[in-house]
Protein backbone atom coordinates (compact mmCIF):
# COMPACT_ATOMS: atom_id res chain seq x y z
CA UNK A 1 0.00 0.00 0.00
CA UNK A 2 1.34 3.43 -0.98
CA UNK A 3 2.02 6.19 1.53
CA UNK A 4 -0.96 8.33 0.49
CA UNK A 5 -3.24 5.26 0.60
CA UNK A 6 -2.16 4.46 4.16
CA UNK A 7 -2.75 8.08 5.15
CA UNK A 8 -6.21 8.17 3.59
CA UNK A 9 -7.11 4.81 5.09
CA UNK A 10 -6.01 5.88 8.58
CA UNK A 11 -8.02 9.10 8.44
CA UNK A 12 -11.15 7.58 6.92
CA UNK A 13 -11.25 4.52 9.17
CA UNK A 14 -10.68 6.59 12.32
CA UNK A 15 -13.38 9.09 11.36
CA UNK A 16 -15.88 6.38 10.41
CA UNK A 17 -15.48 4.48 13.66
CA UNK A 18 -15.75 7.69 15.67
CA UNK A 19 -19.01 8.51 13.90
CA UNK A 20 -20.25 4.94 14.35
CA UNK A 21 -19.46 5.07 18.09
CA UNK A 22 -21.29 8.40 18.41
CA UNK A 23 -24.35 7.05 16.57
CA UNK A 24 -24.39 3.88 18.67
CA UNK A 25 -24.16 5.86 21.90
CA UNK A 26 -27.01 8.09 20.76
CA UNK A 27 -29.29 5.21 19.75
CA UNK A 28 -28.39 3.23 22.88
CA UNK A 29 -29.50 6.20 24.99
CA UNK A 30 -32.78 6.48 23.07
CA UNK A 31 -33.41 2.72 23.31
CA UNK A 32 -32.71 2.78 27.04
CA UNK A 33 -35.14 5.67 27.52
CA UNK A 34 -37.70 3.71 25.51
CA UNK A 35 -37.28 0.72 27.85
CA UNK A 36 -37.77 2.68 31.08
CA UNK A 37 -41.62 2.56 30.96
CA UNK A 38 -41.35 -1.26 30.80
CA UNK A 39 -39.49 -1.49 34.12
CA UNK A 40 -41.46 -3.31 36.79
CA UNK A 41 -43.41 -5.50 34.37
CA UNK A 42 -42.91 -9.00 35.69
CA UNK A 43 -39.30 -9.14 36.84
CA UNK A 44 -38.04 -6.63 34.28
CA UNK A 45 -35.47 -4.43 36.01
CA UNK A 46 -32.92 -1.82 34.93
CA UNK A 47 -30.15 -4.41 34.46
CA UNK A 48 -32.41 -6.34 32.07
CA UNK A 49 -33.16 -3.17 30.10
CA UNK A 50 -29.45 -2.37 29.91
CA UNK A 51 -28.66 -5.91 28.76
CA UNK A 52 -31.40 -5.70 26.13
CA UNK A 53 -30.00 -2.41 24.78
CA UNK A 54 -26.41 -3.69 24.69
CA UNK A 55 -27.40 -6.89 22.87
CA UNK A 56 -29.32 -4.78 20.34
CA UNK A 57 -26.24 -2.73 19.42
CA UNK A 58 -24.86 -5.13 16.75
CA UNK A 59 -28.16 -4.83 14.88
CA UNK A 60 -28.00 -1.05 15.20
CA UNK A 61 -24.42 -1.05 13.93
CA UNK A 62 -25.50 -3.10 10.90
CA UNK A 63 -28.29 -0.63 10.11
CA UNK A 64 -26.24 2.55 10.43
CA UNK A 65 -22.89 1.37 9.05
CA UNK A 66 -23.43 2.93 5.56
CA UNK A 67 -24.51 6.22 7.18
CA UNK A 68 -21.43 6.18 9.42
CA UNK A 69 -19.24 5.51 6.37
CA UNK A 70 -20.80 8.45 4.53
CA UNK A 71 -20.52 10.92 7.43
CA UNK A 72 -17.04 9.70 8.43
CA UNK A 73 -15.80 9.92 4.84
CA UNK A 74 -17.27 13.39 4.39
CA UNK A 75 -15.66 14.56 7.62
CA UNK A 76 -12.23 13.07 6.89
CA UNK A 77 -12.09 14.08 3.23
CA UNK A 78 -13.34 17.61 3.97
CA UNK A 79 -10.63 18.07 6.62
CA UNK A 80 -7.99 16.78 4.20
CA UNK A 81 -9.28 19.16 1.55
CA UNK A 82 -9.29 22.14 3.94
CA UNK A 83 -5.66 21.36 4.80
CA UNK A 84 -4.94 21.28 1.04
CA UNK A 85 -3.80 17.65 1.22
CA UNK A 86 -6.21 16.58 -1.53
CA UNK A 87 -5.04 19.52 -3.65
CA UNK A 88 -1.39 18.55 -3.16
CA UNK A 89 -2.12 14.95 -4.14
CA UNK A 90 -3.91 16.01 -7.31
CA UNK A 91 -1.24 18.60 -8.15
CA UNK A 92 1.36 15.85 -7.79
CA UNK A 93 -0.31 14.00 -10.64
CA UNK A 94 -2.63 11.68 -8.73
CA UNK A 95 -5.60 11.04 -11.04
CA UNK A 96 -9.17 10.96 -9.77
CA UNK A 97 -9.36 7.30 -10.78
CA UNK A 98 -6.66 6.45 -8.22
CA UNK A 99 -8.59 8.24 -5.49
CA UNK A 100 -11.71 6.31 -6.46
CA UNK A 101 -9.77 3.02 -6.43
CA UNK A 102 -8.39 3.78 -2.95
CA UNK A 103 -11.85 4.60 -1.63
CA UNK A 104 -13.22 1.45 -3.28
CA UNK A 105 -10.70 -0.68 -1.37
CA UNK A 106 -11.72 0.92 1.91
CA UNK A 107 -15.38 0.58 0.96
CA UNK A 108 -14.92 -3.15 0.40
CA UNK A 109 -13.47 -3.49 3.90
CA UNK A 110 -16.50 -1.75 5.39
CA UNK A 111 -18.79 -3.84 3.17
CA UNK A 112 -17.18 -7.01 4.53
CA UNK A 113 -17.56 -5.73 8.10
CA UNK A 114 -21.24 -4.95 7.44
CA UNK A 115 -21.75 -8.45 6.02
CA UNK A 116 -20.14 -10.06 9.07
CA UNK A 117 -22.31 -7.97 11.38
CA UNK A 118 -25.45 -8.91 9.49
CA UNK A 119 -24.68 -12.61 9.17
CA UNK A 120 -22.72 -13.70 12.24
CA UNK A 121 -23.26 -11.19 15.03
CA UNK A 122 -26.57 -9.31 14.73
CA UNK A 123 -29.04 -12.27 14.34
CA UNK A 124 -27.95 -14.24 17.46
CA UNK A 125 -27.55 -11.02 19.45
CA UNK A 126 -31.06 -9.93 18.43
CA UNK A 127 -32.52 -13.26 19.51
CA UNK A 128 -30.63 -13.14 22.81
CA UNK A 129 -31.86 -9.58 23.48
CA UNK A 130 -35.49 -10.48 22.88
CA UNK A 131 -35.20 -13.72 24.85
CA UNK A 132 -33.76 -11.76 27.79
CA UNK A 133 -36.65 -9.29 27.63
CA UNK A 134 -39.25 -12.03 27.40
CA UNK A 135 -37.87 -14.13 30.24
CA UNK A 136 -37.77 -11.08 32.53
CA UNK A 137 -41.23 -9.75 31.65
CA UNK A 138 -43.23 -12.96 31.28
CA UNK A 139 -44.08 -15.89 33.49
CA UNK A 140 -43.10 -18.03 30.56
CA UNK A 141 -39.50 -19.16 30.60
CA UNK A 142 -38.01 -19.61 27.14
CA UNK A 143 -34.63 -20.69 25.86
CA UNK A 144 -33.32 -21.73 22.46
CA UNK A 145 -31.14 -24.82 22.08
CA UNK A 146 -30.00 -27.01 19.19
CA UNK A 147 -33.16 -29.08 19.65
CA UNK A 148 -35.30 -25.96 19.14
CA UNK A 149 -37.14 -23.51 21.34
CA UNK A 150 -38.06 -24.64 24.87
CA UNK A 151 -40.80 -22.84 26.81
CA UNK A 152 -42.09 -23.46 30.35
CA UNK A 153 -45.81 -22.73 30.68
CA UNK A 154 -47.11 -23.58 34.14
CA UNK A 155 -46.65 -27.34 34.62
CA UNK A 156 -45.98 -27.89 30.91
CA UNK A 157 -42.75 -27.84 28.96
CA UNK A 158 -43.06 -27.05 25.26
CA UNK A 159 -40.46 -27.84 22.63
CA UNK A 160 -40.80 -26.24 19.18
CA UNK A 161 -38.34 -27.33 16.53
CA UNK A 162 -39.03 -24.32 14.30
CA UNK A 163 -40.84 -21.02 14.78
CA UNK A 164 -41.58 -19.52 11.39
CA UNK A 165 -41.60 -15.77 10.71
CA UNK A 166 -45.43 -15.84 10.53
CA UNK A 167 -45.41 -17.23 14.12
CA UNK A 168 -46.67 -20.65 13.01
CA UNK A 169 -44.99 -23.65 14.60
CA UNK A 170 -43.39 -26.78 13.19
CA UNK A 171 -42.39 -29.85 15.16
CA UNK A 172 -44.25 -29.24 18.45
CA UNK A 173 -43.84 -31.39 21.54
CA UNK A 174 -45.81 -30.70 24.74
CA UNK A 175 -44.73 -32.41 27.99
CA UNK A 176 -47.55 -32.03 30.54
CA UNK A 177 -46.83 -32.72 34.23
CA UNK A 178 -49.13 -32.97 37.23
CA UNK A 179 -48.78 -31.17 40.57
CA UNK A 180 -46.23 -33.74 41.73
CA UNK A 181 -44.18 -33.17 38.54
CA UNK A 182 -45.00 -36.63 37.19
CA UNK A 183 -45.32 -36.84 33.42
CA UNK A 184 -49.02 -36.96 32.58
CA UNK A 185 -48.97 -36.77 28.79
CA UNK A 186 -46.74 -36.19 25.80
CA UNK A 187 -48.20 -34.66 22.65
CA UNK A 188 -46.27 -34.47 19.38
CA UNK A 189 -47.60 -32.43 16.44
CA UNK A 190 -46.24 -31.72 12.98
CA UNK A 191 -47.55 -28.15 12.82
CA UNK A 192 -49.37 -25.57 14.89
CA UNK A 193 -51.23 -22.36 14.10
CA UNK A 194 -52.69 -19.81 16.50
CA UNK A 195 -56.43 -19.63 17.22
CA UNK A 196 -57.27 -16.29 18.89
CA UNK A 197 -57.47 -15.45 21.67
CA UNK A 198 -55.60 -18.15 23.63
CA UNK A 199 -55.41 -21.45 21.79
CA UNK A 200 -53.44 -23.28 19.10
CA UNK A 201 -54.58 -25.71 16.44
CA UNK A 202 -52.15 -28.62 16.33
CA UNK A 203 -52.16 -30.85 13.25
CA UNK A 204 -51.21 -34.53 12.90
CA UNK A 205 -50.97 -35.08 16.64
CA UNK A 206 -49.74 -38.23 18.39
CA UNK A 207 -50.69 -38.03 22.07
CA UNK A 208 -49.37 -40.43 24.71
CA UNK A 209 -51.18 -40.44 28.08
CA UNK A 210 -49.61 -41.90 31.21
CA UNK A 211 -52.73 -42.39 33.36
CA UNK A 212 -52.37 -45.99 34.51
CA UNK A 213 -49.94 -48.86 34.37
CA UNK A 214 -49.89 -48.80 30.59
CA UNK A 215 -49.57 -45.72 28.42
CA UNK A 216 -52.37 -44.91 25.99
CA UNK A 217 -51.55 -43.58 22.52
CA UNK A 218 -54.11 -41.47 20.64
CA UNK A 219 -53.87 -39.98 17.16
CA UNK A 220 -55.64 -36.79 16.07
CA UNK A 221 -55.70 -35.07 12.71
CA UNK A 222 -56.22 -31.79 14.57
CA UNK A 223 -56.28 -30.90 18.25
CA UNK A 224 -57.11 -27.65 20.04
CA UNK A 225 -54.44 -26.76 22.62
CA UNK A 226 -54.86 -24.11 25.31
CA UNK A 227 -51.66 -22.24 26.28
CA UNK A 228 -50.47 -18.87 27.55
CA UNK A 229 -48.01 -18.98 24.67
CA UNK A 230 -49.09 -16.65 21.86
CA UNK A 231 -47.63 -15.10 18.67
CA UNK A 232 -46.77 -11.86 20.48
CA UNK A 233 -44.50 -13.76 22.86
CA UNK A 234 -43.04 -15.82 20.04
CA UNK A 235 -42.48 -12.72 17.93
CA UNK A 236 -40.01 -11.29 20.41
CA UNK A 237 -37.89 -14.42 19.96
CA UNK A 238 -37.90 -14.01 16.19
CA UNK A 239 -35.55 -11.88 14.12
CA UNK A 240 -37.07 -9.58 11.51
CA UNK A 241 -36.52 -10.80 7.93
CA UNK A 242 -34.10 -7.92 7.28
CA UNK A 243 -31.94 -9.11 10.20
CA UNK A 244 -32.08 -12.85 9.56
CA UNK A 245 -28.99 -14.71 8.50
CA UNK A 246 -28.93 -15.49 4.78
CA UNK A 247 -29.20 -19.32 5.11
CA UNK A 248 -32.30 -18.96 7.32
CA UNK A 249 -33.89 -16.47 4.95
CA UNK A 250 -33.16 -18.63 1.88
CA UNK A 251 -34.61 -21.69 3.62
CA UNK A 252 -37.81 -19.86 4.54
CA UNK A 253 -38.28 -18.39 1.04
CA UNK A 254 -37.94 -21.92 -0.35
CA UNK A 255 -40.47 -23.21 2.18
CA UNK A 256 -43.01 -20.52 1.20
CA UNK A 257 -42.50 -21.21 -2.50
CA UNK A 258 -43.00 -24.96 -2.02
CA UNK A 259 -46.27 -24.26 -0.20
CA UNK A 260 -47.39 -21.77 -2.88
CA UNK A 261 -47.40 -18.82 -0.47
CA UNK A 262 -46.34 -15.23 -1.15
CA UNK A 263 -42.59 -14.75 -0.98
CA UNK A 264 -42.33 -11.11 -2.13
CA UNK A 265 -41.44 -9.53 1.22
CA UNK A 266 -38.88 -12.17 2.07
CA UNK A 267 -37.29 -12.15 -1.39
CA UNK A 268 -36.87 -8.37 -1.12
CA UNK A 269 -35.30 -8.86 2.32
CA UNK A 270 -33.00 -11.51 0.83
CA UNK A 271 -31.78 -9.21 -1.94
CA UNK A 272 -31.38 -6.35 0.55
CA UNK A 273 -29.17 -8.60 2.67
CA UNK A 274 -26.98 -9.22 -0.37
CA UNK A 275 -26.89 -5.62 -1.60
CA UNK A 276 -26.90 -3.62 1.65
CA UNK A 277 -23.22 -4.22 2.55
CA UNK A 278 -22.24 -2.73 -0.83
CA UNK A 279 -23.90 0.53 0.24
CA UNK A 280 -20.60 1.42 1.95
CA UNK A 281 -18.97 1.56 -1.49
CA UNK A 282 -21.75 3.86 -2.72
CA UNK A 283 -21.33 6.14 0.29
CA UNK A 284 -17.59 6.40 -0.30
CA UNK A 285 -18.25 7.37 -3.91
CA UNK A 286 -20.83 9.95 -2.81
CA UNK A 287 -18.40 11.57 -0.35
CA UNK A 288 -15.62 12.09 -2.92
CA UNK A 289 -17.28 14.90 -4.98
CA UNK A 290 -17.82 16.91 -1.78
CA UNK A 291 -14.10 16.72 -1.03
CA UNK A 292 -13.03 17.61 -4.56
CA UNK A 293 -15.37 20.60 -4.65
CA UNK A 294 -14.33 21.89 -1.24
CA UNK A 295 -14.88 25.52 -0.37
CA UNK A 296 -12.85 27.05 2.45
CA UNK A 297 -15.86 29.18 3.37
CA UNK A 298 -17.98 26.09 3.99
CA UNK A 299 -17.68 24.81 7.55
CA UNK A 300 -16.93 21.15 8.17
CA UNK A 301 -20.06 20.96 10.30
CA UNK A 302 -22.16 21.86 7.24
CA UNK A 303 -20.68 18.94 5.30
CA UNK A 304 -21.25 16.61 8.25
CA UNK A 305 -24.86 17.77 8.53
CA UNK A 306 -25.28 17.18 4.79
CA UNK A 307 -23.93 13.67 5.22
CA UNK A 308 -26.34 12.96 8.07
CA UNK A 309 -29.30 14.18 5.97
CA UNK A 310 -28.20 12.08 2.98
CA UNK A 311 -27.76 9.05 5.23
CA UNK A 312 -31.26 9.49 6.67
CA UNK A 313 -32.64 9.86 3.16
CA UNK A 314 -30.90 6.63 2.10
CA UNK A 315 -32.29 4.79 5.13
CA UNK A 316 -35.82 6.07 4.42
CA UNK A 317 -35.61 5.16 0.74
CA UNK A 318 -34.52 1.63 1.65
CA UNK A 319 -37.65 1.16 3.73
CA UNK A 320 -39.87 2.97 1.22
CA UNK A 321 -38.81 0.90 -1.79
CA UNK A 322 -39.13 -2.34 0.20
CA UNK A 323 -42.76 -1.51 1.01
CA UNK A 324 -43.49 -0.26 -2.51
CA UNK A 325 -42.00 -3.45 -3.91
CA UNK A 326 -44.40 -5.57 -1.82
CA UNK A 327 -47.43 -3.40 -2.62
CA UNK A 328 -46.77 -3.13 -6.35
CA UNK A 329 -45.27 -6.62 -6.82
CA UNK A 330 -42.00 -5.26 -8.21
CA UNK A 331 -39.15 -7.59 -8.96
CA UNK A 332 -37.36 -8.13 -5.61
CA UNK A 333 -33.94 -7.25 -7.04
CA UNK A 334 -35.20 -3.89 -8.36
CA UNK A 335 -36.93 -2.99 -5.09
CA UNK A 336 -33.83 -3.87 -3.06
CA UNK A 337 -31.25 -2.24 -5.33
CA UNK A 338 -33.05 0.97 -6.33
CA UNK A 339 -31.86 3.22 -3.42
CA UNK A 340 -28.22 2.21 -3.89
CA UNK A 341 -28.46 2.66 -7.68
CA UNK A 342 -30.01 6.13 -7.24
CA UNK A 343 -27.25 7.24 -4.87
CA UNK A 344 -24.54 5.75 -7.10
CA UNK A 345 -25.91 7.64 -10.12
CA UNK A 346 -26.05 10.83 -8.04
CA UNK A 347 -22.40 10.32 -7.05
CA UNK A 348 -21.41 9.77 -10.71
CA UNK A 349 -23.23 12.93 -11.85
CA UNK A 350 -21.69 15.03 -9.06
CA UNK A 351 -18.21 13.67 -9.76
CA UNK A 352 -18.55 14.41 -13.48
CA UNK A 353 -19.69 17.95 -12.67
CA UNK A 354 -16.75 18.52 -10.33
CA UNK A 355 -14.30 17.19 -12.91
CA UNK A 356 -15.66 19.54 -15.58
CA UNK A 357 -15.08 22.48 -13.26
Q: How many helical (H) and strand (E) elements, i.e. helices and strands, does the chain have?
A: 11, 7
Per-residue pLDDT tens over the stretch 9-44:
899 999 999 999 999 999 999 999 999 888 887 778
| Proportion of the chain above pLDDT 70, given as a percent | 89
The answer, yes or no, to whether residue 297 has pLDDT greater than 70, is no
**Sheet containing 148-153: which strands, arranged edge to edge?**
141-145, 148-153, 156-163, 169-177, 183-195, 199-209, 216-226
DSSP 278-302: GHHHHHHHHHHHHHHT--TTS-HHH
Cα–Cα dist 256/262, whole Å: 7
For the chain, the residue count is 357
Q: Which element (helix H / strand E) includes 77?
A: helix 46-82
Per-residue pLDDT tens over the stretch 236-293:
556 667 777 788 788 778 867 776 777 888 888 889 888 999 999 999 888 888 777 7
Q: Is the peptide bond before 255 cis (omega within 30 degrees of 0)?
A: no
pTM of the model: 0.74
Instruction: Specify the 3-state DSSP secondary structure of 178.
Output: coil
- Does residue 356 contact residue 348 with C-beta atoms inside 8 Å? no
Domain boundaries along the sequence of the chain: 3-137+240-356, 141-228
- Does residue 15 contact residue 72 with C-beta atoms inside 8 Å? yes
Mean pLDDT calculated for residue range 179-192: 86
Q: Which element (helix H / strand E) includes 129?
A: helix 122-137
Per-residue pLDDT tens over the stretch 92-130:
777 878 888 888 899 999 999 999 998 889 888 887 887
Amino acid sequence: MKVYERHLARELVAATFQVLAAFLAFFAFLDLMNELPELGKGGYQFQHALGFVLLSLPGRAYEIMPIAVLVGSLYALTLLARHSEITVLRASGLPTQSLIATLAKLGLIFALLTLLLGELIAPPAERAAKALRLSAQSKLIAQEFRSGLWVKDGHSFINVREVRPDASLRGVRVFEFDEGFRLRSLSEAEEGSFLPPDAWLLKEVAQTRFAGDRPEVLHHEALRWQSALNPDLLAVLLVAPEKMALPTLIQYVRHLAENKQKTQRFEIALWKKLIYPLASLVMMALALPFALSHDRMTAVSVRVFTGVMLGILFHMLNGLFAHLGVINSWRPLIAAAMPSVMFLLAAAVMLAWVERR
